Every structure is written in structure tokens, then in C-alpha cells.
Chain A
Amino acid sequence: MRGRDDVVVLGVGMHPWGKWGRNFVEYGVAAATDALGDAGLDWGDVQFVSGADTMRNGYPGYVAGATFAQALGWTGVPVASSYAACASGATAMEVARTRILAGLCDVALVVGADTTPKGFLAPTSGERPDDPDWLRFRLLGATNPTYFALYARRRMDLYGATDADFARVKVKNARHGLNNANARYRKEVTESEVLASPMVADPLRLLEICATSDGGAAVVLASAAFARRHTTEPVRVAAISTATPTYPNAVIEMPNFATDSWAAAAPPERPFKASIAAAAYDEAGIGPEDLSLAEVYDLSAALELDWYEDIGLCKPGEAERLLNDGDTTIGGRVPVNPSGGLSCFGEAVPAQAIAQVCEVTWQLRGRATGRQVEGARVGITANQGLFGHGSSVLLAR
């Protein structure tokens, strides 16, 4: 545990989520400008730019670090661009953090932004029979919610989760995000409204599945020494996990057709999704019992319940009880998704893991207006992207 030498979040910023239909670079620049202002720094102070890539916006999206550096005005600053699907933002943060920890720079800007099409996320066009993400649509018609639904059905079968449990996750998150100016959906819903929304992929309904959104998020990371000169309220990056699965991964993962085989080697004691936060806890010497709050990747309402268990808030099968006891509601023992989560934001892929860190930072500073978790000291983010990308960021003050 480094503690005093931890990299610090010096500034955070976001462009509000929505369906704005403008170029993603605009959202990224707005978020970066906000984050720099929040840090009390100028663009010229930035010594490294780490971009999180988008696959849906042509070449500029594949070289996000350079795209944002050019948009802010070339200064000669070195850049990197990372792609790790939904975990891209965390990977970009890890690239910046390790560069700071290596002593190669003191201040880094991390940016992710996306402009998304309407409807289901679809693979990029063209005939690409060697790409499993293309093939799963062609051969199975398996959209992303299909995979979320398999997990949801499994929860019902293994643990007795009900439609009402899933609906109550949505009700909670809608209430959490009500006053969040960066959230796209700010409207209370009732359990019966959720249950009356159309079924998309049984047992998941429209209001239980996250939408796709436009948005941008940025963080300014700094070395501990630099941060001491610039802030009196440092939020420490206690750990970043960018875990991948351990063979054999016995859980079917998007966009795959099959699991690994466990015929010759036993599956790991800790399944992939549970190993993601565990790696962050191990690095930081912090445990789930220390958490004040969590921001988890609720691609579906049911998936939020899986995360309760996978980040160690409770044992497998106990998530519904935690939810129904109010433990994960603001005011409860360990609020989950006080921002409103993906439920209120929709997913802007490369920005989302960064947005989670923005929220935890605001919470730890006591500045999450209208959704503050009182006395928050430690927060975790958790996220999983397709093709085996886990990510988790542990922040503390």
C-alpha cells in the first residue's frame, strides 16, 4: 500500500450525457476543459494525454489521445490511446497513472467521449466472418441485452430473484440520478411502470436495460508531490485493476459463442467478474468493508445485483436482500450508483469508466449535490468490457 505516494485525482469534468448527435470530440474537449478548470491548471500544464478510444467514429476515434490533443491545440505533449471496450476509460487512466508512478511526468489528462447511433449497439459494418462480434449477430442474432438476460435468468434460477427485484434496482437508480445535472434520464419511475415496459430479452424489460448515449468525461491525474502544491483535498487513486480472465473462464461472456472448456483444468476459485475488484482491493490493502459507496456497471438492472456480490458487498445469492433492505440506497450502509448509474446515463462506452471515477471523486469531496453519500471516504468503481476487459478503480481520501 503506497498511501502517501498514491497518484491523485486533481480534477474531474464531464459533458452531460444525452443524444446530442454532435461530434464526439466536442464532448471530450468540453469535459477536458472542465477537468482542467477543476484542477486549477491550464492545457499547457498537461505533460501527457491518455485517450480512451471509440470504435464508432472513424479514424479519429481510434487515436483518441492525439485527437483530443490536436483539438485542444498541439503542444508537443506525448499521447497514448487505449481500447478495452467498456473498460477503455480505466485502461487509459492506468496508462496515465503508471507513467506518473514511473516518474516520467507529474500531470496527465485522461479523456474519453463517444457519439452513439440509435438502438442496439451493432458491430461495425462490412462482411467480417473472422470477427466474433460480427458473427454473433449474423449466426445468433445475439444482441448485448441477450447476454445480460442470460445472467438475469440465471440469478432467478439460482437465487430466486424476481422481476420485482430487478424493477426495484431501476426505481432506486432513477431516484439517485434525479438531481444529477450530467445524467440523461432524470425522472422517477415506479416498480409497476418498470414492469409494464416492453420485454426486450426475457426476463429483461426496456426500462431495465441501459441505453446508448453521447457523452464525455475527463480526469486530471497528478503525482502526490505535485498534488500537494495544488490541492488541500486530495482524492487518492488507491488502486486500478485491469484484470483479464483466468483459464478456463466457465461463464459465457459477450461476444463469445462458448465458454472455455473445464475438461482439463478446473475453473478458478474466483470467477472472472469477482476477480476484477479483488485485484484492486489486493493492491490497495483496502477491503469491501471499508467502502462508503460503489459505482458499478449496471448494463442491466439485474447485472447491478451480480456486482454487489462480485465487489464483495455480500455473499452470492444475498444481493436481493441487500437491495430490499435499502443498504444500497443513498442513506443506506453502502450506496451503489449514487450517480444514477448507467440506468440514468446510458452508455457512452469510452467515457463511462472515467465518468464513474468523476462521480466517486465528487462523492469523496462532499460535492455530489443532491445525491451526496454523507461522510464518504472510500469508493470503488467496477466495470467489464467485452473481450475479457475487467476494470476497477479504488479511490480514497
Chain B
Amino acid sequence: MTKTRVPAVEGWFTSDPDRPALLGQRCAACGTYVFPPRDRSWCPNPGCAGRQLDEVELSRRGTVWSYTDARYQPPLPYVVPGAEHRPFALAAVELAAEGLVVMGQVVPGVSVDDLAVGAPVELVVDTLYEDDEHTYLVWKWAPVAGGGGA
């Protein structure tokens, strides 16, 4: 039986297999961006009186602002995928067009030795963890082969 694939959080990213993207918001008045999306409509910019945030897909590519890894198993509510904890890398990634830095796990198989500040990465959707019926999905960052631009 195949498991149902569901996002681990609602409304933060699209799961389009070819072109997944983070879902943010943009203020209709001043153009500032918001991630994660909020269920309120006012603009976070104190210099803006905007009251309308429109859902937008964020840039799928960015550059590494900084990175690290989790050598030890994080505590609950983190759920270990698989039988035992395997260290995974994390990256904070700068999206130039939106002026945002967004955290994410880095895809399995990529260690801190493969990362560098300023390196280009792109968004993918991957398994966060599974239970008997579901595969829970989350966004992750993956190095861009050959280091192309955004």
C-alpha cells in the first residue's frame, strides 16, 4: 500500500514535483515579503499602512547565508525519520529578490563539508518523517549542481 503524501505544515509550500516553491506573502502596498505566511492581513512594515497580503511563490533558488548540522537527535516534537537518528545539515538561505533569509534542512547525503557561505542552493520537497499511513513532506535545500546562478 502506498502512503498518502501530505505536507507536514499546511500552506507553507507547494508540492509540485517539478517546481516546488515556498509560499510567502507580499504586501500589496509596499511590496515587502513575509515568510512563513500569516493568517492576518496587515503588513509587518511599521512604515506601511497596508492591509492586504497576497500569496506569492518565493524564489526557488538562493545562496547560503550560513549552515550547520544536527549531530545529536533533536528532542520532541522532532520525529526521527527511520530507525535511528542520522546527522543532517541545516542551512539559512538568502533569497535576493525577496530580501529574506529562510531556514531549512539540507537534503540527505549532503554534509557541512559540501556547503559554503554564498553557495547556490535550490528548493526541493522531501520526506520529513513517515507513519503507517502518511509520508509527511517538508521543504529542503539542495546544492545546485555546477553552482549556477539564481
Most A Cβ at <10 Å: residue of B33, B47, B78: B78
B150 close to chain A: CB less than 8 A = no
- In the bound complex, CA of A264 to CA of B78 (Å): 35
Chain A contact patch, size range: 35 or more
* A257 and B99 contact, CB distance less than 8 A: no
* B75 and A120 contact, CB distance less than 8 A: yes
8 A Cβ contacts from A115-158 to B: 119-120, 122-123, 125, 127, 129, 134-143, 146, 149-154, 157-158
- In the bound complex, CA of A203 to CA of B46 (Å): 36
8 A Cβ contacts from A230-281 to B: 247-248, 250-252, 256-265
- In the bound complex, CA of A158 to CA of B70 (Å): 22
Q: Which residues of B contact A143 (CB under 8 A)?
A: 70, 72, 74-75
Q: Which residues of B contact A256 (CB under 8 A)?
A: 103
- In the bound complex, CA of A50 to CA of B119 (Å): 48
- In the bound complex, CA of A127 to CA of B8 (Å): 13
For B22, give the chain A residue with the smallest CB separation: A258
Task: Pick the residue among A142, A154, A198, A248 that contacts B103 (CB under 8 A).
Answer: A142
Q: Answer whether A149 and B68 are a contact pair too, CB < 8 Å, given A138-B77, A139-B8.
A: yes
Task: Pick the residue among B45, B72, B118 that contacts A248 (CB under 8 A).
Answer: B45
Task: Pick the residue among A120, A123, A198, A262 that contacts B77 (CB under 8 A).
Answer: A123
CB distance from B73 to the nearest CB of A (A): 8
Cβ proximity bits B97-109 to A, threshold 8 Å, 1 near / 0 not: 1111111110000
A199 close to chain B: CB less than 8 A = yes
* A247 and B44 contact, CB distance less than 8 A: yes
Q: Which residues of B contact A137 (CB under 8 A)?
A: 74-78
Q: Which residues of B contact A251 (CB under 8 A)?
A: 101
Q: Which residues of A contact B21 (CB under 8 A)?
A: none
Q: Report the interface size for chain B: residues with CB under 8 A from the other chain.
A: 47
Q: Answer whether A264 and B31 are a contact pair too, CB < 8 Å, given A140-B105, A153-B68.
A: yes
Q: Answer whether A264 and B45 are a contact pair too, CB < 8 Å, given A138-B77, A142-B90.
A: yes
B79 close to chain A: CB less than 8 A = yes
8 A Cβ contacts from A29-63 to B: none
Q: Which residues of A contact B79 (CB under 8 A)?
A: 138
Q: Which residues of B contact A1 (CB under 8 A)?
A: none
- In the bound complex, CA of A123 to CA of B46 (Å): 30
B128 close to chain A: CB less than 8 A = yes
9 contacts between A and B (CB under 8 A): A140-B103, A152-B68, A154-B117, A201-B68, A202-B71, A252-B66, A258-B35, A259-B101, A263-B33
- Which B residues are closer than 8 A to A by beta carbons? 8-9, 27, 30-36, 44-48, 65-72, 74-79, 88, 90, 92, 97-105, 112, 116-118, 128, 138
- Which A residues are closer than 8 A to B by beta carbons? 119-120, 122-123, 125, 127, 129, 134-143, 146, 149-154, 157-158, 198-204, 247-248, 250-252, 256-265
A257-B36, A265-B47 known; 17 new pairs, CB 8 Å cut-off, are A136-B103, A137-B77, A139-B138, A141-B74, A142-B103, A143-B70, A143-B74, A149-B68, A247-B45, A248-B99, A252-B66, A252-B92, A259-B100, A261-B35, A261-B99, A263-B98, A264-B32
